Amino acid sequence: MRALISAVLTSISLLASTPVSAVPSAQAPAPPGRQDSPQTAAKPERNPDDGWFFYRDPREEEKKKTPPPKPAVPAAPTDMSEKVGSAEWIQKNLPRIMMDAINNPKDREKVELYGYVQKLAMDKSEQFANTYIRVMSANPALDETISNPTSTFALRELDSKRDTERAAVLQEIAKTTGLWYFFRSDCPYCHRQNPLLDLLQQDSGISILPISLDHQPLQDGSYPNWVADSGQGQYLGVTSTPTLFMVHPSTGQLVSLAVGQRSLPDIERRIIEISRDQNWIDEATYQRAMKGMPQRFITDAFDPSSIDDPNDPKQVLDALRRAGMHGEAQQAATLDDLQKATGSNATPWKGSE
């Protein structure tokens, strides 16, 4: 018994003298599902050159080189390439001066500058307009109110003259042309068109050939001398009534005049326009009918080859004056100059001198 107790005590003393680090520690089993894989459990290889620092500062990223800031663009200076106050100078600088004043509304000088430049532009414009009106009214070649009057009494007189000339021109056209009138017997628009065609025929004397597309006469009894369509309508593509064609027998030309019901002035105008377009009348006759008088255009008489130096304003003006309504007529003169030029008393109310 004593031997057993002695052996136990000896074992206890041996355990007490053994270092703690030498005793293997019991490792608790990892909970299920939390076992580390060999890849994650393995410690990363250490680079001997790194030393024993536990933390390494990350390498500083190279700072991107930022471009230097662009210098502020100063406000555009006033363009002095043109004469200050000229139209070119105002056109180039007025918008900038205006925006500068708007952006600096408390700057009285900038606002005042804009006001003066704006007033300068308006004054120059008004002076030009006044001179333009005086020059146009004093020059018959440039005065549009001669051919296009604006006063009431002049317009009334022009309308009367135009009606007279138009009737005369239509009578001239009627001597060499005629109308083909395509209709249907039951066409209501044809019945309304018939009285207008009767007036046209009475006033101008133009011949009208009525052609029935359905081979039946008009229900109102108009145009008893009608003829049945024998293919002309189909050949000309007539699908609606009334339809009018203008015929020029000497040349054999056929031109569409109107489709559908038209007013008498519209038909007369179309007859004149087609006649001019087909050269059945000349330009002067056309202008008489449309304007009441022959029109003269500067382009008809302007001769650019008469100008030696196109950059010389005087030569260009002289060439345009020659092409004007009164040719090289004096725009202004004195009574003494007129008397010297004619060699006689040009001012009879002054008496003989």
- Give me the DSSP letters along 191-204: HHHHHHHHHHHHHH
Tell me, yes or no, whether 261 lies in a domain. Answer: yes
pLDDT at 151: 84
Q: What is the CATH number of the domain that holds 163?
A: 3.40.30.10
Rounded to two decimals, what is the model's pTM?
0.54
Q: Quick one: 286 and 159 in the same domain?
A: yes
Q: Quick one: 284 and 176 in the same domain?
A: yes
Question: What does the alpha-carbon distance between residue 254 and residue 252 come to, in Å, rounded to a whole number?
Answer: 7
CB-based contact 181:210 (threshold 8 Å)? yes
Q: Quick one: 281 and 238 in the same domain?
A: yes
Tell me, yes or no, whether 283 lies in a domain. Answer: yes
Residue after which a domain boundary falls, among 270, 291, 312? 291
Written as tens digits, the pLDDT of the chain (353 aa) is 555 555 545 655 555 455 544 444 444 455 544 445 444 455 555 566 656 555 556 565 555 566 666 665 455 455 556 788 999 999 999 999 999 999 999 999 999 999 999 999 999 999 999 999 998 888 878 887 777 778 888 888 888 888 999 999 999 999 999 999 999 999 999 999 999 999 999 999 999 999 999 999 998 888 999 999 999 999 999 999 999 999 999 999 999 999 999 999 999 999 999 999 999 999 889 988 888 766 677 887 888 888 999 888 888 888 888 888 554 445 555 667 666 766 665 555 555 44
Tell me, yes or no, whether 196 lies in a domain. Answer: yes
Tens of pLDDT, residue by residue over 60-109, are 555 556 666 666 545 545 555 678 899 999 999 999 999 999 999 999 99
My answer on whether omega of the bond before 217 falls inside 30° of 0, hence cis, is no
Q: Report residue 52 CA to chain centroid gap.
A: 82
Q: Quick one: 186 and 274 in the same domain?
A: yes
Question: What does the alpha-carbon distance between residue 229 and residue 215 come to, in Å, rounded to a whole number?
Answer: 7
The residue range of the domain holding 316 is 301-342
